[in-house]
Structure 1
């Protein structure tokens, strides 16, 4: 089921056919540079199952993202409800992760803009946050391009054990 479309992209629920591309993307060291590790196929399967459950429970998750014309899976993008563990919770975060061969084409910005619009207009959210490892300059550029504002409230992510990946920047967008 399609969640929403942008000019070039379809943001939709996960399909079984997404798994091989998700496996490949999640095993890519460049794609996973700002995560503690790459993911095995079994770990990817658990992620997809968790995302499907979150969508059913909350009406949002990190959905599958594909190119309209080719119907090619390019990554994930979406909204995720966070209830605890982070210093600014509860909140809804926006996030994205694209396969390396789709970087630099404006897809992350386009999909993220669509997610903000969906969150504010369809889900009636008043605020959406985004956070990234402090050195993840490309994600920070996307946050700025979609109109999010740096809160200047960096935090140490409690679920990250890798020292150089702990410090995160926090951006927010409001209605």
Structure 2
């Protein structure tokens, strides 16, 4: 399956090996990883491994995060999209085998509405094309921006839970509620 979505300002497509510099810029930034365990990558080899991991998800799980490209500049901005979390290793808040929505952008693209724009497109893709019944999201309580985005795109707060000593909000959106 080839993934390609477009919004007014964005192209969302599969992540390619050629995105390595963008992935490195994204995932080596401590500010990006402030609410992600504070463990940014330090080598291009790690960026390559991140790309391979996402590409394997496309093949094995039928879905994965999309590269976000700014139409006006052609710049790699980060990623956004859906992920099938499988098995005990990827369980979260007591859930296994679930679809979650996520986004991660290079800081120079923050505050411009790109995360919401891409997430709206990914929700539509998930419910209309992939026929998912429910999509989940999670955000560190202190990550105000991510919590606002999840709420803005329509996900509803279900509960709060502890993840490795961090308080996290758990959100969900059912297809029936999305269609309203």
Residue from 67, 75, 78 that aligns with 1:75: 78
Partner of 1:34: 35
Match of 2:170? 170
Q: Which runs of 5+ in 1 are unaligned?
A: none
Does residue 44 in structure 1 map to residue 51 in structure 2? no
**What is the distance in 2 between the residues matched to 1:93 and 1:107?**
18
**1:104 & 1:11 partners in 2: Cα distance?**
18
Of 56, 60, 64, which aligns to 1:57? 60
**C-alpha displacement at 1:90, in angstroms?**
2.3
Following the alignment from structure 1 to structure 2, what is the Cα–Cα distance between the partners of residues 31 and 44?
14
Q: Mind listing any 5+ residue stretches in structure 2 that lack a counterpart?
A: 176-180
SS of residue in 2 equivalent to 1:46: helix
CA contact (8 A) 2:81 2:101 kept: yes
TM-score w.r.t. the length of structure 2 is 0.88
Structure 1 length as normaliser, TM-score? 0.91
Q: Between Structure 1 and Structure 2, how many residues are aligned? A: 168
Kindly state the Cα deviation for residue 83 of structure 1 after the two structures are TM-superposed.
2.2
Instruction: Summarize the alignment of residues 111-126 of structure 1 with structure 2, pairs less than 5 Å apart.
Output: 111-126=118-133
Deviation for aligned residue 1:140: 0.3
Contact 2:17 2:48 survives alignment (8 Å): no
Contact 1:2 1:10 in 2 (8 A): no
RMSD: 1.3
User: Structure 1 CA distance, aligned partners of 2:50 and 2:71?
Assistant: 24
